[in-house]
């Protein structure tokens, strides 16, 4: 991952700086995105109460005290049921293989194995000393569940996990120290003032998708993909045209709603978020289009900008 980063210089003649990538991995809904936002002190990765909100890697930068951590928020580790799931799993496993430090987050509030498959477990073990583990949500997890996950870490990974809460900040200073210790000495990879790596269009699409997860029920959020078609940032208000793709015509009707009420509410709430993110007025133009079975089709995944899994 470092070859892609650009090579902005850190401190000149002072103490050596540290820089590198820290992959945040774990089952869906273990709090990876919340942890990223808490560590950065700014909302960068979208967060909802539903699983599988994150579909692609989200890179956030924390630069302080001579250290630059490039956090990589990843989709949840899951057993794939269709091609988009496979794409999401490959995004996560690519980060596991590439990062300087891999942080596996575990959730004591859920009754399921800590990782979905033996293959994923072996991929994590293969990172050796680069792998760190934290049990998140200790503020709400039952003590017995926290103890069971701690014992699993010791027996399955040979690691003593940190106990943290991304929601309250508990244990995060100790976590930061452990992550920094795993980074190599290196010039900063990005300018110190940067917070994110991906283009603004990416985050605008994510904010619209987050709002879909908040506003709609059942399968509609999971069947929806967003692509930004126009982004005229020189205009006031900024003009943004976004296309929302769904898998069936019936889902298009649900998104639009009776008399267009639902799409108007979606547009209004999305626009508010985008304006707060950009710090500018926004004119948001939303269009809904059916794209049959796009989650299971490689060409459609590529059209929407997702990683296309290699045929096996």
pLDDT of 311 reads 66
Whether residue 310 lies inside any domain: the answer is no
126 shares a domain with 240: no
Contacts of 49 (CB under 8 A, 6+ apart): none
Does 12 score more than 70 pLDDT?
A: no
255 shares a domain with 162: no
pLDDT of 267 reads 98
Domain that holds residue 206: 200-303
CATH number, domain containing residue 263: 3.30.300.20
> What are the pLDDT digits (tens) for 254-290?
999 999 999 999 999 999 999 999 999 999 999 999 9
Averaged pLDDT of the chain: 94
Task: Using the Cα atoms of residue 291, residue 293, residue 298 and residue 304 in order, give the sign of their dihedral.
Answer: positive
pLDDT of 9 reads 45
Whether residue 264 lies inside any domain: the answer is yes
Give the mean pLDDT of 152-162. Answer: 97
Q: Are strands 18-26 and 67-73 parallel, antiparallel or unpaired?
A: parallel
> What are the pLDDT digits (tens) for 227-244?
999 999 999 999 999 999
Give the mean pLDDT of 85-109. Answer: 97
Does 130 score more than 50 pLDDT?
A: yes
169 shares a domain with 205: no
pLDDT band at 15 (very low <50, low <70, confident <90, very high): confident
Domain end: 154, 181, 208, which one?
181
Does 49 score more than 80 pLDDT?
A: yes
134 shares a domain with 56: yes
240 shares a domain with 103: no
Whether residue 194 lies inside any domain: the answer is no
Number of domains in the chain: 2
CATH number, domain containing residue 173: 3.40.50.300
> What are the pLDDT digits (tens) for 184-228?
999 999 999 999 999 999 999 999 999 999 999 989 999 999 999
219 shares a domain with 170: no
pLDDT over 90, % of the chain: 92
- Going across the sheet that includes 58-64, the strands are 58-64, 67-73, 18-26, 101-106, 131-135, 162-163
Does 173 score more than 70 pLDDT?
A: yes
294 shares a domain with 148: no
Distance CA 252, CA 287 (A): 10
pLDDT of 309 reads 84
153 shares a domain with 118: yes
Give the mean pLDDT of 163-179. Answer: 97
pLDDT of 2 reads 39
Contacts of 184 (CB under 8 A, 6+ apart): 18, 19, 20, 100
Of 10-24, 73-87, 168-182, 293-307, which range is least confident? 10-24
pLDDT over 70, % of the chain: 95
8 shares a domain with 93: yes
106 shares a domain with 71: yes
pLDDT of 4 reads 39
Residues 162, 171 contacting (CB under 8 angstroms)? yes
């Amino acid at each position: 991952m470092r070859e892609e980063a650009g090579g902005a210089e850190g401190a000149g003649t002072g103490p050596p700086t540290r820089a590198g990538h820290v992959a945040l991995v774990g089952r869906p809904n273990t709090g990876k995105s919340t942890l990223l936002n808490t560590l950065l002190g700014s909302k960068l990765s979208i967060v909802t109460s539903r699983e599988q909100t994150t579909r692609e890697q989200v890179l956030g930068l924390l630069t302080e005290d001579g250290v630059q951590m490039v956090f990589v928020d990843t989709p949840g580790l899951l057993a794939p049921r269709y091609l988009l799931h496979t794409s999401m799993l490959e995004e996560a496993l690519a980060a596991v293989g590439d990062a300087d430090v891999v942080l596996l987050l575990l959730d004591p509030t859920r009754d399921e194995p800590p990782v979905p498959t033996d293959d994923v477990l072996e991929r994590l073990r293969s990172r050796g000393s680069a792998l760190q583990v934290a049990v998140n949500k200790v503020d709400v997890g039952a003590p017995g569940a926290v103890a069971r996950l701690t014992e699993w870490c010791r027996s399955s990974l040979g690691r003593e996990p940190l106990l943290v809460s991304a929601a309250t900040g508990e244990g995060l200073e100790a976590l930061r120290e452990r992550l920094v210790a795993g980074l190599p000495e290196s010039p900063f990879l990005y300018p110190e003032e940067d917070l994110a790596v991906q283009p603004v269009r990416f985050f605008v699409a994510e904010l619209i998708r987050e709002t879909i997860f908040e506003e709609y029920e059942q399968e509609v959020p999971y069947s929806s993909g967003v692509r930004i078609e126009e982004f005229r940032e020189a205009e006031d208000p900024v003009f943004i045209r976004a296309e929302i793709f769904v898998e069936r015509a019936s889902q298009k009707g649900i998104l639009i709603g009776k008399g267009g009420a639902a799409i108007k509410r979606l547009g209004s709430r999305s626009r508010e978020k985008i304006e707060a993110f950009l710090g500018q007025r926004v004119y948001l133009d939303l269009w809904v289009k059916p794209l049959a079975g796009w989650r299971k089709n490689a060409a459609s995944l590529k059209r929407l900008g997702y990683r296309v899994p290699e045929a096996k």
